Amino acid sequence: MKRAALALLMLAAPLTAQEQPELPAFLAGAWEQRTGDTWADEFWTPPRGGMMIGAARIGRGEVLREFEHTRIVRKPDGSLSFFAQPRGVPPTEFPLVASGPQMVEFASAAHDYPQRIRYWREGRLLKARISKMDGSDAMEWSYSPIAE
């Protein structure tokens, strides 16, 4: 009986930290892209409490064109999901589909656009790409750290 109870307990136990994907700490910081008078910036908090909180803005000159609230959350089952709220609309969830030491990708085929969201580091740059599931209609950003 004790063995059966122990086996049940082990099956019901949450994933260990080694089995859970890491929150993408490489995103943390303040980032910007500038092309002429067009700009985009993105800000990410360091991982804490199972979450990273982000915000992004896109504009031209002094005019804000777009803004978005984002977060990456560790869910109760140990998985990670990216939640996006462009222009303050209700959040859309994108579950984690791939990750590595300097890369993270989330996707949801049920969403119209984007369906795939990918971040990765190339040296000191933070790169971001959104697209449809098949990679079409891609938009890409290359952010530098904002100078302090």
Assigned domain for 1 exists: no
Assigned domain for 8 exists: no
Whole-prediction pTM: 0.85
Assigned domain for 111 exists: yes
Assigned domain for 134 exists: yes
CATH at residue 131: 2.40.128.20
Confidence of residue 128 (pLDDT cuts 50, 70, 90): very high
Assigned domain for 11 exists: no
What integer pLDDT is reported at residue 1 of this predicted model? 47
The pLDDT tens digits of the residues spanning 50-99 come to: 999 999 999 999 999 999 999 999 999 999 999 999 999 999 999 999 99
Is the pLDDT at 40 greater than 70, yes or no? yes
Q: Evaluate the CA torsion angle 22, 28, 34, 40 in order and state its sign.
A: positive
What integer pLDDT is reported at residue 25 of this predicted model? 97
Assigned domain for 4 exists: no
Question: CA-to-CA distance for 115 and 36, rounded, in angstroms?
Answer: 29
Assigned domain for 103 exists: yes
Residue 103 lies in domain: 21-145
Please give the angle made by the CA atoms of 11, 12 and 18, to the nearest 5 degrees.
Answer: 80
Assigned domain for 5 exists: no
What integer pLDDT is reported at residue 13 of this predicted model? 40
Confidence of residue 148 (pLDDT cuts 50, 70, 90): low
